[in-house]
Amino acid sequence: MKHLLDNIAWHTLTGSHAHCAAGAGDARRYARGFSPIVGFTHAEQPDFEALAPHCEPREHVYCIGWSGAAPAGWQIDVDATMFSMVWEAAMPEADAAPEAIRLGPQHAAQAMALATLTRPGPFGPRTLELGDYFGCFDGDRLVAMAGERMAAGALREVSGVCTHPDAQGKGFARRLMLKLIRRQMQRNELPFLHVMRDNVNARALYARMGFGVYRESIVRVISRC
């Protein structure tokens, strides 16, 4: 099952999230408004010709697993690596964040603002529709959230984990993640996540929680010229 992580974007965009995807042939992407992630049948040999009609010039999209030179008409804006981590511990015994509120369309603007501020990864105004998202509030203000994004087979991604700078150090992110992990395992799903290589503190937190490294992959932000 873990092998699906080797090309998780493609398996997601042609599987459980096909209804949220655009593209044809050997290229897919989340439709505009969702997280700007693309996938290819062969991640290491992407079909940019098939993808081009579905990307606007200078629109930034995320591409996983490709290390080649940019073809004509495209440019590489960010070149980095990230780790795929898979849950290896037991199911959390109890709901770690019973006070968290399920986020819906009415929270989209606040969720987008928090993601823009904290930059947890590719996020769009419709990302909340990709799975269960929960948030913690200070009054009416969203101060922390975590949710679900990609999925293939029994794999389910924990994503969009972020906390407002004013609310950091209170354990919101960890508790929200444990809430999601418990719910996923109750559905017989295997939680996984992605974390950038240079996000050392987050990677250490995830390891302490019970995530183990599956692999390190190239991740790039690319755009049409």
User: For the domain that residue 162 is a member of, what is the CATH number?
Assistant: 3.40.630.30
| CA distances from residue 62 to 35, 78, 220 in whole angstroms, order as listed | 9, 9, 6
Question: Has residue 223 been placed in a domain?
Answer: no
Question: Has residue 225 been placed in a domain?
Answer: no
Render pLDDT for 149-188 as a digit per residue (tens, 0 to 9). 999 999 999 999 999 999 999 999 999 999 999 999 999 9
Q: How many structural domains are present in the chain?
A: 2
Query: Is the pLDDT reported for residue 2 higher than 90?
Result: no
Same domain, 28 and 70: yes
Same domain, 103 and 199: yes
Q: Which amino acid is at 174?
A: R
pLDDT class of 193 with cuts at 50, 70, 90: very high
Render pLDDT for 56-74 as a digit per residue (tens, 0 to 9). 999 999 999 999 999 999 9
Question: Has residue 219 been placed in a domain?
Answer: no
Same domain, 98 and 169: yes
Q: Parallel, antiparallel, or unpaired for β 133-138 and 27-30? A: unpaired
Count the helices and strands in the chain (H runs, E runs): 5, 11
**Where a domain ends, among 67, 82, 97?**
82
pLDDT of 67 reads 94
Question: Has residue 39 been placed in a domain?
Answer: yes
Same domain, 11 and 104: no
CB environment 162-194: b (16+ within 10 A), e (fewer): bbbeebeeeebbbbbbbbbbbbbbeeebbbbbb
**Where a domain ends, among 23, 47, 82?**
82
- Paired tokens of 28: 């897919």
Same domain, 119 and 192: yes
Query: Is the pLDDT reported for residue 1 higher than 80?
Result: no
Q: What is the pTM of this model?
A: 0.96
Same domain, 75 and 10: yes
- Output helix, strand, coil percentages for the chain, rounded to the nearest 5: 30, 35, 35
Same domain, 130 and 208: yes
Instruction: Residue 129: give the domain boundaries.
Output: 85-214
**Where a domain ends, among 82, 108, 142?**
82
Alpha helices in 24-171 (DSSP H): 48-51, 108-118
